[in-house]
Amino acid sequence: MPHVLLIEDDVSVRDGMELVLRRHGYGVDTAATGEQALALLAGDHGARIELAVVDLMLPGMDGFEVCRRIRARSATLPVIMLTARGDDSDIVTGLEAGADDYVVKPVTAPVLKARIRAALRRAEPSARQGPDADLAGLVIDRAGLTVTRDGTLVPLPPTELRLLLELSASPGRVLSRDQLLESVWDHNFLGDSRLVDAAVGRLRAKIEAVPSKPRYIQTVRGFGYRFGPL
């Protein structure tokens, strides 16, 4: 049974979401503040939590900081953020803080379940087709699902790892943002390119020597991204 940590200060929203998740077979821990959530993750049963759903507008420590601290603690725990306004700046900031996906409140049960299922699938080990890559210090081991740069292991969250595997499976091929949303995020509809752009930015910061002048993940303006190297 997948286990979810739900971080939401609004009691009615929290109780409603918890009820929906439990009815569909999820185990649920809840927290009303970021501080409570981080204490749960650090506690004895924190290891059983497989995904966190984080409201951005929390009292005290806000959801952006919660995302950062979760990501600093674990490179692999999927994080979905909740935003009430759907404001562009909030969404971009949350994604840059390490969230894998987001939903705008009020969120329907089918949307919430679909996003959680997709995030959990991304966390499952799954090598993409294509050869291993050993490119000027960047080594991608597709069987072992590891990435090293200059001999140092680079821990990547599931979304960023799958994005890198997808791009590097066909070097030189341009993939559109919608193609990447479907293959990496499992969004089979016209989706939000901010998810892709934010993940690319986080990934470049970890694998590129100079992220502002990327060698491996190149932007093809008006189309999408392709894997180098230059």
- Which amino acid would we find at residue 53? V
Share of the chain above pLDDT 70, in %: 93
Closest CA to 133 of 152, 150, 147: 147
- Element holding 28 (H helix, E strand): strand 27-31
Which pTM was predicted? Answer: 0.85
Q: Which two tokens stand for residue 143?
A: 């069987």
Q: Which residues contact 194 (CB under 8 A, 6 or more apart)?
A: 88, 91, 92, 95
CB 113 within 8 A of CB 53: no
Q: How confident is the model at residue 189 (pLDDT cuts 50, 70, 90)?
A: low
Q: What CA–CA distance (Å, rounded) separates 157 from 123?
A: 8
Comparing 45-49, 54-58, 129-133, 151-155, the range with the smallest average pLDDT is 129-133
Q: What CA–CA distance (Å, rounded) separates 166 from 226?
A: 10
Convert the pLDDT of each residue in 144-156 to its tens digit.
889 999 999 999 9
Q: What CA–CA distance (Å, rounded) separates 190 from 106?
A: 20
Closest CA to 146 of 199, 80, 75, 230: 75
Closest CA to 228 of 170, 157, 153, 166: 170
Q: Which two tokens stand for residue 151?
A: 């001999």
Convert the pLDDT of each residue in 160-181 to its tens digit.
999 999 999 988 999 999 999 9
Closest CA to 168 of 201, 207, 222: 207
Q: What CA–CA distance (Å, rounded) separates 227 from 216?
A: 5
Mean pLDDT of 81-107: 87
Q: What CA–CA distance (Å, rounded) separates 154 from 77?
A: 16
Q: Give me the half-sphere count of Cα atoms (radius 13 Å) on the Cβ side of residue 91.
A: 16
